[in-house]
Structure 1
Amino acid sequence: MSRTPQSSPTPAHPPEPGGPSRHLASAHRTFSIEIEALQALRDRLDAHFDQAVEMLLACHGRIVVTGIGKSGHIARKMAATLASTGTPAFFMHGAEAMHGDLGMLTGQDILIAISYSGSAAELLTVLTVAKRMGAQIISITGHPESELARNADLHLDAGVLQEACPLNLAPTASTTAALVLGDALAVACLEARHFSAEDFARSHPGGALGRRLLTYVRDVMRHGDALPLVKEGTPMHDALKEMSAKGMGMTIVIDDENRPIGIFTDGDLRRLIQRRGDVRGLTVCDGMTRNPRCVTADTLAVEAAARMDAGRLNQMLVVDEAGLLLGALHMHDLMAAKVI
């Protein structure tokens, strides 16, 4: 995002005695210049921004974002943000476009071309080919009278008064302005599409949010032969064998219709021993907890985890709408699935 200096750089003053260090003073100056650039850009936004958003929303193809140098880095990030927030987009390197990557572009697409100077030769060539294809073009430059700005269907002005670089050469404030302008376009499209947290999770299935919003109880519950099951009246000895064999720290007590009538846990066993001492002659019903906490299979796993945490439970049963047993959750299963 190279640019021609438009103003004299702000001189670097030595720090005052007792003030911030020279490095902190430089950082404060950089922050101030870039904040001022963003404030000026915000105040300058007009109907062109509205038109750009409407163009993106109406696009029947994809959004192709291109740039060279530092502008290329901004273009890559802009494409990634658009794609992850519900607007299909990808990055096309301005130089690689000249050597075959223009085949990525179709007449149904919108090309967003970023160049602070608005005169990058590669982008001007890309623009010419894109126009012949029938693609719409949005340019983002710091020079509204530049060739790229004048030949685009729509221009967004990302100009800044000065760079944070004391030489007023290295792209700093200008790249920040273009970056934030891209974020603003993506967020405006996100809101217009009513893009939800669930939509975001579908675009990020490997992330923590994806796991939290896409993982259901049915995905992590134990079922079938993995469930520790005993019938009402089962001798304590047999109930303990079932608990040990299945490794869930509990056994489920079911009736003849496969409805859970109770749960007998390690904690129940300890409490029963405290009350009764010798438990060898007892049945599982003497120590089980009746009316156990249950959840349905289509509940989000993170919601089930919250219920278990609130009730200080290590296990929770899974039932269908008729109350029939489907499976069981253990807190360790939720941790292994990285839901919590």
Structure 2
Amino acid sequence: MAISSVASFARRALLLSAAVAALPFAHAQGSWPVRPVTLVHPYAAGGPADTMARALGQQLSKRLNQSVIVEAKPGGAATIGTGFVARAKPDGYTLLISTSAGHVVTPLMQRIPYDGIGDFSFIAVVANQPNVLVVHPAAGIADLQGLITYARQHPGALNYASAGTGGATHLGAEAFAQAAQIRITHIPYAGAAPALKDLLGGQVQLGMLNLAAVKPFIDEGRIKPLAYGGARRTPLLPQVPTMAELGYGNTATATWYTLAAPKGTPPEVVETIRKAFESVSTDPEWQKVLAAQGAEQLQMSPAETTAFVQKDKAAMRQLLGTLGMLADK
């Protein structure tokens, strides 16, 4: 009897121990994330968006204890990658780091199969990157006034590269051209990397591109900076005047990056990502990434981020209307 009781007790203890051991596993299986997360950006590999996404992916991976796979889906003026995430399953496993082009500008310029704001749950503003107007040395242009003088004498002869139609690199150049009363020809690319390749090769003479993309080649003397699009001079290029200093402050534009999930993603998942990014934003290594790219950090909640994008849409609607680029809808 005693032996039977001991055996019975042992069996119950073993079962209880197994049940307790299974609890953490069961909890982990039901939590997010339990498999790799994909972070999509809508530009070509090798450009500033790719660099930003990969740095962010590494930081998020540490905090989520899961792999974060970065995928470049360029094309369609940032609508291919942005639209891909809009249609993705809203479970948190497909995220987007995108810009005004995919969320705001292209949807204002043409019909697209997604709502640039309404189809997303915005989480944070990742960074704000001012652009730089640069010129190939072979053009023989020394400064912004020299560019204006040449362009007025040779309307349409100068080509400029942008990271894509509808992005800040495109609209900033168009706004400047209008303000300066000159005509320059837009050559759009699928991202900063291919735009820069042709600019360095001399196939195009001008570029309005992110500071991060052009800085190494400015340092090498392969391209010349004419004006910086930030509110004040950057310590990375202290000798370069701002557009505002040169009298074109209203044409200065920057490329902002937001982190978003498809609309309908569970609030608890969005909150988990928000907390992870909040931790990333204070990490010294992440701050070094931003500093190296001349990017500003904007601390915003999901609600504030959504309002930020909506405000940008209102501003871009006005700018596109002025430029005659709004779609007829």
What is the TM-score normalised by the length of structure 1?
Answer: 0.25
Higher relative contact order (CA 8 A, sep 6+): 2
What is the TM-score normalised by the length of structure 2?
Answer: 0.26
